[in-house]
Structures are given as structure tokens and as C-alpha cells.
């Protein structure tokens, strides 16, 4: 079974600075997707960024980028120019891309709570 | 399109009572998922549907839990004989079958069992 580990329960960043959230995962599969989801307080979870395992190029979405290290099974999220609205829980998640595998479901880490200091 | 809708948003019940949650997915989404999230944890997969067919159930889904999606549109999650350990946020999500894989989540239904 796949596992996703987020070793930083809480992080803090100064507004306009850069912060990196860590995520490692364990899998025996070669084809999969990785996601970062953001869950603001009392609001629904939204997708921040996704990465296909077969792509070597790291995904980027505006101020958000990832450092995907497949061999190390590491998938960190970098937030540049942090804004007050970035304050939220961030979850790393894994989904198999194999037809016969762990099924069509996301496996989430325990999350990292990000605080942004004004 | 207003996104994934869940009702009720909050439910407080006494131990032993039955509760039912409803999820209305985004209209063109044929896959629908239920997750459970407890305080300080990430969401845990419970079950998912493709149209009206329930394709997978987690071992977390005891026989007190039942989910349906009778017409392939909205879904219900019923918990019978609730226990205090059932207290959690129940999240519904949906997506199209052949797409980028992004799940669209509802705001969740919070259950408190006294």
C-alpha cells in the first residue's frame, strides 16, 4: 500500500517570502500522480498543483512550484512571494495511474499547517 | 455550476442514532468519492462510484456505513447506530472519468456524536 508522509505539522513564513513544504511517499508503482491540495479554514479543499510521475519537468503554477525527485520519492511544494491568503492546511496526495493497482483514490498525508506572518 | 454541494453541513446526534449525508456532485462528473477526515489528519478514502456503480469500498467502511448513488447523480452516505468514533468531517468529491485527475471537493459534513 502507498503511504504519504508530511513531516512538518506546522510551518510559518513572512509575507512576501518563500517557503517549502516537504512530502515523501512510498510506492512500488512506476506510474502515478502527485498532488498538493490546499484546505483553508472551514472551506473546501482545492487543488494547488499536480505532477505526473512520467514527466521529469517540475510542475509550476504561478507562485507555486514543485521539486519532484522520483528516485528519492520526494515531492516538495515551494510557495514564492507568500501572501496572507496562502495560510491554510496543505496536503500532499498520491494517486495510482495504473489500471490494475491501488484503485482510483487519493492517499493523503497528514498535512502541514502554514501560517503567513504580515 | 456551483461546485460540489454537501448537506447538512453540521450534524449533532446522540450515540446509537442513524444519520444520512447527501452529496450533489458537479453535474457532468461521473465519479464520486467519499472521504472521512478527523482532526489533525488527512482525508481517508471510504468509497467511490462510477455513475451508479459502487466500485470500491475501504476496509474503514464498516457494515454500519452504506453509500448509494441510485441514479448516478447525487449520493447519500448513511451511518447506522452511530458511535463516538464516527465523529469526523465527511468529504465528498467528484471528477470526470477521463481528465487530469483533479478532484473537486465539497465543503464537507461535520458529524458530532455525543
Closest alpha carbon to B25 in B53, B40, B5, B11: B5
CB contact under 8 A, A46 and B3: no
Pairwise CA distance, residues A69 & A46, whole Å: 23
Give chain A positions within 8 Å (CB) of B107.
42-44
What residues of chain A lie within 8 A of the CB of B48, using their CB?
104-105
Q: Is B44 close to A45, i.e. CB distance below 8 A?
A: no
Q: How far apart are the first and last CA of chain B?
A: 36
Give residue A49's Cα distance to chain centre.
Answer: 7
Query: pLDDT tens for residues B24-56?
Result: 999 989 899 999 999 889 999 999 999 999 998
Rounded to whole angstroms, what are the CA distances from B103 to A9, A25, A80, B96? 23, 20, 24, 9
CB A109 within 8 A of CB A23: yes
Provide the chain B residues 19-58 that lie in CB contact (below 8 A) with chain A: 31, 33, 35, 40-45, 48, 55-56
List chain A residues with CB under 8 Å of B102: 35, 47, 50
Give the tens place of pLDDT for each residue, A36-87.
999 998 888 999 999 999 888 999 999 999 999 999 999 999 999 999 999 9
pLDDT digits (tens, 9 = 90+) for B55-91: 989 988 889 999 999 988 999 999 999 999 999 999 9
Amino acid at each position: 500500500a502507498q503511504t504519504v508522509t508530511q513531516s512538518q505539522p506546522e510551518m510559518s513564513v513572512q509575507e512576501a517570502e518563500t517557503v517549502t513544504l516537504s512530502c515523501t511517499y512510498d510506492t512500488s508503482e512506476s506510474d502515478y500522480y502527485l498532488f498538493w491540495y490546499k484546505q483553508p479554514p472551514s472551506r473546501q479543499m482545492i487543488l494547488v498543483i499536480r505532477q505526473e510521475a512520467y514527466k521529469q519537468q517540475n510542475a509550476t503554477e504561478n507562485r507555486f512550484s514543485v521539486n519532484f525527485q522520483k528516485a528519492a520519492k520526494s515531492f516538495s511544494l515551494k510557495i514564492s512571494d507568500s501572501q496572507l491568503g496562502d495560510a491554510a492546511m496543505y496536503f500532499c496526495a498520491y494517486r495510482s495511474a495504473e489500471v490494475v493497482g491501488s484503485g482510483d483514490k487519493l492517499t493523503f498525508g497528514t498535512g502541514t499547517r502554514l501560517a503567513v506572518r504580515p | 455550476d456551483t461546485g460540489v454541494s454537501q448537506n447538512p453541513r453540521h450534524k449533532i446526534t446522540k450515540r446509537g442514532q442513524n444519520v444520512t449525508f447527501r452529496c450533489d456532485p458537479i453535474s457532468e462528473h461521473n465519479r464520486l468519492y467519499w472521504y472521512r477526515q478527523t482532526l489533525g489528519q488527512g482525508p481517508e478514502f471510504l468509497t467511490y462510484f462510477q455513475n451508479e456503480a459502487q466500485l470500491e469500498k475501504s476496509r474503514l467502511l464498516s457494515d454500519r456505513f452504506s453509500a448509494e448513488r441510485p441514479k448516478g447523480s447525487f449520493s447519500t452516505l448513511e451511518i447506522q447506530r452511530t458511535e463516538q468514533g464516527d465523529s469526523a468531517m465527511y468529504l465528498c468529491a467528484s471528477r470526470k472519468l477521463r481528465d487530469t485527475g483533479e478532484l473537486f471537493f465539497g465543503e464537507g459534513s461535520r458529524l458530532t456524536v455525543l
